[in-house]
Structure 1
Amino acid sequence: MNRLELRKKVHGIVDDLISEKGVVSPLDVFLRLGTITPKLVEEWRFGRVPYLERVLHGNLAQFSYIMSLLRGKARELDLNPSYTAYMRWGKGPKRPLRFSKSGDHNIETSYATHYVLKKPKES
């Protein structure tokens, strides 16, 4: 899939998720694109996979481009960014999950940021 097709697909996914749930996350976008399966997400959430990028299908440049498209579309739609802590599921200590091999704070924050539809102001 070339970048133009990917842009159209990501923008459509963001529009669909916002109309369905009022919120969009990078993980939701990756699931809808088919770059990861729900089963692999579950494995990661239970801590059986060390970091999410390990089980995403594609390459880091593609993931980075998808993330930039998501951020751009969120700005265009005037969505509120909201950091969401992803914690390990299951028994045992609730440790934070990692998204990237490097564990870089900026990359981790980018993956964990959800974009939320602004609530209309009450009068």
Structure 2
Amino acid sequence: MNRQELHIKVRSAVHQLIHEKGYASPLDLFVKMGKISSKLVEEWRFGRVPYLERVLHGNLAQFSFIMAKLRETAREMDLKESYTVYLKWGKGPKCQLRFSKSGDTDVERNYSTHFIVKKPKAPLLAQDELTKL
């Protein structure tokens, strides 16, 4: 799959995720695009896989491109960034999960950022409308 096809697939998947869930996350995007199975995500969430990139199908350049296109699409759609902490599921200490082999702070933050639909601001009520309440 070339980069143009990949870009189209990312945009389509992001739009689907926003429609279905109201947000798009890199993890959900990778699942939707077939880069990882739900079973492997579960293994990672329970701490049985040391870092997510280890079980993603593809290479780091492809993942980086997908992440860049996710951010680009989120900007175009005027989505709000929301940092999310991923903690280990199951028994034992609830330690934070790793996404990358390097553990680089910026890379980890990019993987754990969700893009959510902004809530519309409520219009201000006129003074005469307030007195009716």
**TM-score normalised by length of structure 2:** 0.92
Counterpart position of 1:113:
113
Q: Which amino acid aligns with 1:68?
A: A
After TM superposition, what 4+ stretches of structure 1 lie above 4 angstroms from structure 2?
Answer: none
Task: Give SS of 1:106's match.
Answer: helix
Cα distance in 2 for residues equivalent to 1:19 and 1:34: 19
Is residue 16 of structure 1 aligned with residue 42 of structure 2?
Answer: no
Q: Which amino acid aligns with 1:52?
A: L
Counterpart position of 2:82:
82
Q: CA deviation at 1:87?
A: 0.2
Counterpart position of 2:3:
3
Q: Which amino acid aligns with 1:34?
A: G
Q: CA deviation at 1:63?
A: 0.2
Q: Which amino acid aligns with 1:110?
A: N
Q: CA deviation at 1:92?
A: 0.4
Q: Which amino acid aligns with 1:30?
A: F
Deviations 1:65-91 (A, max 9, x none): 000000000000010000000000000
Alignment of 1:7-86 (within 5 A): 7-86=7-86
Q: Which amino acid aligns with 1:104?
A: D
Structure 2 unaligned regions, length at least 5: 124-133
Task: Give SS of 1:115's match.
Answer: strand
Task: Give SS of 2:88's match.
Answer: coil
* Structure whose CA Rg is larger: 2
Q: CA deviation at 1:21?
A: 1.2
Q: CA deviation at 1:20?
A: 1.4
Between the two proteins, the alignment pairs up a number of residues equal to 123
Q: CA deviation at 1:24?
A: 0.3
CA RMSD of aligned residues (A): 0.4
Q: CA deviation at 1:35?
A: 0.6
Cα distance in 2 for residues equivalent to 1:48 and 1:18: 29
